[in-house]
Amino acid sequence: MSLQSLIFNTAPFALIPPAIMAVVLLRNSNITFRILSIHILISSVTEFSATLLWSLKINNIFLLHIYTLEEFALLSWFYATIITGSSWKIFFRGCLITFTILTLLNSLFLQPITVNNTYARGLESLLCMIYAIICFHKLINNTPAISKPYHNSLLLINSGVLIYFTSSCLLFTLSNYLRKPEFTDARMMLWTCHAFFSTVYYLLLFFGLWTIWKSKSYTSYSPVQ
């Protein structure tokens, strides 16, 4: 088995560890980790549904259009519970409303639900990168005010978000320019890298959730300003 095949075949299973932790934390955790747990479980259901439709030779791209909206909405909510304040509340709401409108317009007029929504995914990746960078800045400057396990957990999760969406931004931006048949190998290389970073992302989510679960501090709530 080639390295490329190994990455593609193992990537979907990377969702299992964080999904297990999401189930464990869903009921009793604070709002921040509950939102993330819900997102992980929705990701698991979407991945399973996409695989099932693919095995039945049914176009599953429409799921990505729906998932993109869900993912950005819950990640915006997730970060809004970490970074608080009236100005940040307006910022996150503004990003969510603007993104939702642009994504719906993209699905209606530019990239219908039968094709990959690379424009929306690229924009989502860029915004989530910005979220993650802001969060790193806030976490570093508010380290003394946050418990160490809580801080470490958020750092792991935020690292996963930044790594994954940086690679996604590159993938979906370049894929718009690599549609010709002669770029098939380049596209496959990009998708292989994306699958690898997706695996890294879900493993970092798992370790982040496991860290907060092990410390028994998942019910505490420590927003930063």
Domain extents in the chain: 3-214
Confidence of residue 11 (pLDDT cuts 50, 70, 90): confident
Reduce the DSSP state of residue 25 to 3 states and report it.
Answer: helix
- The per-residue pLDDT for range 156-187, each reduced to its tens digit, is 999 999 999 999 988 877 776 666 666 677 77
CA–CA separation, 217 and 225 (whole Å):
20
- Tens digit of pLDDT for each residue in 52-98? 998 899 999 999 999 999 999 999 999 999 999 999 999 999 999 99
Rounded distance between C-alpha atoms, residue 17 and residue 54, angstroms: 23
Structure tokens at 87: 């100005």
Alpha-carbon gap, residue 117 to 49, rounded angstroms: 18
Lookup: tokens for 88: 């940040």
List Cβ neighbours of 133 (8 Å cut-off, separation of 6 or more).
Answer: 162
Class of domain 3-214: mainly alpha
**Structure tokens that stand for 214 in this block:** 């092990």
Instruction: Tell me the mean pLDDT in the region 23-51.
Output: 94
Place of tokens 């608080």: 84
DSSP three-state, residue 204: helix
CA distances from 44 to 9, 79, 131, 225 (A): 16, 21, 23, 32
**Six token digits for residue 220:** 């505490």
At 224, give phi and psi (nearest 5°).
-120, 155
- Measured between alpha carbons, how far is 116 from 184 in angstroms, rounded to an integer? 16
pLDDT of amino acid 39: 97
pLDDT in tens, 89-129: 999 999 999 999 999 999 999 999 999 898 999 999 999 99
Question: Which is more confidently placed, 8 or 170?
Answer: 170
